Amino acid sequence: MATPRVLILRAPGTNCDVETGYAFERVGAKVTAIHVNGLTEDPQAGRDFQILCFPGGFSYGDDIAAGRILAQRLQTHLRDLIEEFRSSDKLILGICNGFQIMMRLGVFFPGQEALPPATLTLNRQSRFEDRWVHLATDKNNCVFLKDIQQMYLPMAHAEGRFVIRDQQSKQSLVSQSQLGLRYSEAAGSVVDSTLPFPVNPNGADMNVAGISDPTGRIFGLMPHPERHIEAIQHPFWTRRTEQPQHGDGLAIFSNAVSYFS
């Protein structure tokens, strides 16, 4: 399939759907944004897509907890559709609030939804953080991270701290190559010990910025790749002696589309 179809799920409070759709279109995908109310009324409208994307924002105002209300709606009304993407040879991507929604859904931990090995919670400094961060990839199985070693992306969240339940859970996640995206120093080295603020902007265990499921087809991350797809979106672009062809985030979307070609 040369032109995969991308379903971008919107909800009250979603505000990154247009940028995310543009990023997918830049690499050759056909994008359709559907509001959750429309999809609830007609679940069949989501059947003919190859990629499901939960974009960033503040769905339902992040009431109760970030992503909680939309995740509950999906569990109640669209469970079969989510399971189809999860179990078929399709892809799911969640960015920031989308990652939070996916964590509440439990799609990363098959068979462990009732007692997941990890969660996302309030940043260690108990406040919203908005800054650019260096990222590096570790041993991973992720379709979206193929051939990516380092990235420099913006992040903006208050509940992005990845917390692992216990040592056994940590070993399981590492052994299944699920902790593929980490906050890092500019040099790009990956370490397991928690890096200081602001290198690790939220205090995440093992500096985790994004994770995949055991198959590598489901991926969520707290930073925003759709906000750095053009070279001129880099905060210091005017000071560079050489401009890259694209921003660092574009490769994530390109990898998703290439998976179907």
What pairs with residue 136 in β-bridges? 150, 182
The two beta strands, 218-221 and 91-95, are parallel
DSSP letter for each residue of 94-160: EETHHHHHHHHHTTTSTT-TTS-SEEEE--TTSS-EEEEEEEEE-S---GGGTT--EEEEEEEESS-
Structure tokens, 120: 């996302």
What pairs with residue 31 in β-bridges? 6
CB 169 within 8 A of CB 140: no
- Residue (of 91, 214, 96, 189) closest to 138 by Cα position: 189
- CB contact set of 181 (below 8 Å; sequence gap of 6+): 135, 136, 137, 138, 140, 142, 145, 208, 209, 210, 211, 221
DSSP letter for each residue of 21-73: HHHHHHTT-EEEEEEHHHHHH-GGGGTT-SEEEE--B-GGGG-SSTTHHHHHH
For the annotated catalytic residues, the residue numbers are 96, 224, 226
DSSP assignment letter at 195: P
